Amino acid sequence: MDAQLSIDDPYTEIRDAVHQLCAGYSAEYWRELDKARRYPTEFVQALNESGYLAVLIPEQYGGSGLDLGAACAILEEIQKSGGNGGACHAQMYTMGTLLRHGSEAQKSRYLPRIAAGELRLQAFGVTEPGSGSDTTRIRTRAQRQGNHYVINGQKIFISRAEHSDLMILLARTTPRDQAEKRTGGLSVFLVDLRKAVGNGITIRPIDTMMNHASTEVFFEDLKVPAENLIGEEGEGFKYILDGMNAERILIAAECIGDARWFIEKAANYASEREVFGRPIGANQGVQFPIARAYAQTEAAALMVTKAAALFDARERCGAEANMAKLLASEASWFAGDTCIQTFGGYGFATEYDVERKFREACLYRVAPVSTNLILSHIGTHVLGMPKSF
């Protein structure tokens, strides 16, 4: 590994600034949104205005040209403050697909407006009901007809589609059985949702256990200009994988933020709450799980830092991105469960926010890739054991 890990945190300024911004969005704000299943429009707008959602966009396109480590610091701070970056994190990683594989014309047309907050690129359309984790089996089909592609099919669990102007979409341009390899024949499109909704796209919200603005998206003879194809036709799987590493690392950073929120809450409550005449945190049965959660979180955070450093150095980082997501999502899950145990009955009362954060943290052991699929990646790609599928 060429990328060197430093023990100094280079992002303290950015962390402080994000912390201050988040202080303007109280626990009550997030609680009310959760109850009403409302999108945090004001919060996302404030992040846009402060330039935080454009940190990865190069300066020549109006962003601040910072690295993935900086983006991780931003998302971690949002989660640590009690908020939920899931409302807007996609702009950071989907933008990378456009930046790394888009044409100059596409980049100069869209990136400056995304950086300025005029266009929202928050939707990433990969998952389908019939393919699940096996992305190569997606069936949404894009067929070239003159200067357009005509798209038919269905996506599921597409977050934020109703709050996005653009979607990065993965579709099949060559049927799987006719492609040279199973990962071939997939292509990536930039879909302008403003024009498409009602003209080939129907979006239906899915109610989930947390406030995540998830939707089903139906495509019926949607016409997408051929100029909106990103990169080369048939090479889309490669482009998406690139973005998926960034996605896994950024979401891992969010999990670290969640874990830190749970640990701080639990440690404070355990020190204050007195039962049997002493603080519950004096009991090792309460104290040790919190200490263990802290140790697990610190270890996972190191893997997130390593994965981001490799990504920023443009080194191979698939294994590290996966391990960061695995370890961080398990650390936040354990910290969340520990926090609920520490709070006892109060952990279930919405006014303490623990149950809301716990519901939100649950997602990341399943999405954007499940723990089993990560273990399979490590078992087969890293350790060379035989594959089961």
Residue 357 CB neighbours (<10 A): 27
Residue number, 170 or 310, with CB nearest to ligand FAD: 170
Burial class of residue 266, CB neighbours in 10 A (0-12, 13-18, 19+): buried
189 belongs to the binding site for ligand FAD (CB under 6 A): no
Q: Which of 76, 77, 247, 360 is catalytic?
A: 247
Cβ burial of 120 (10 Å; 0-12, 13-18, 19+) is buried
* Cα–Cα dist 33/128, whole Å: 28
Could you tell me which residues come within 8 angstroms of residue 381 by beta carbon, excluding any fewer than 6 positions away?
A: 318, 319
Residue window 106-145: x/- pattern of binding to ligand FAD, with contact defined by CB under 6 A: ------------------xxxx----xx------------
Does residue 11 bind ligand FAD (CB under 6 A)? no
Is residue 378 near ligand FAD by the rule CB under 6 A? no
Amino acid identity, position 167: M
Q: Is 366 in the site for ligand FAD (CB under 6 A)?
A: yes
241 touching ligand FAD, by CB under 6 A: no
Between CA 374 and CA 321 the distance in angstroms is 10
Taking CB under 6 A as the binding criterion, the range among 172-180, 255-263, 292-300, 363-371 that sits at the site for ligand FAD is: 363-371
Among 214, 228, 305, 342, binds ligand FAD (CB under 6 A): 214
Structure-token pair, residue 272: 């204050």
Q: How far is CA 234 from the centre of its chain?
A: 25
Q: Which of 88, 158, 167, 300 binds ligand FAD (CB under 6 A)?
A: 158
What's the rounded Cα separation, in Å, for the pair 123 and 159? 6
- Based on the residue annotation, tell me whether 247 is a catalytic residue of this protein: yes
ω before 225 within 30° of 0 (cis)?
A: no
The window from 13-21, 184-192, 224-232, 369-377 that contacts ligand FAD (CB under 6 A) reads 369-377
Of 16-24, 259-267, 283-291, 362-370, which segment contacts ligand FAD by CB under 6 A?
362-370
The two tokens of residue 191 are 């879909």
Cβ–Cβ < 8 Å for 365, 333: yes
Residue 93 in contact with ligand FAD, rule: CB under 6 A: no
Closer to ligand FAD by Cβ: residue 107 or 212: 212
Q: Does 205 bind ligand FAD (CB under 6 A)?
A: no
Residues that bind ligand FAD (CB under 6 A): 124-127, 132-133, 157-159, 208, 212, 214, 363, 366-370, 372-373, 376, 388-389
Residues marked active site are found at: 247
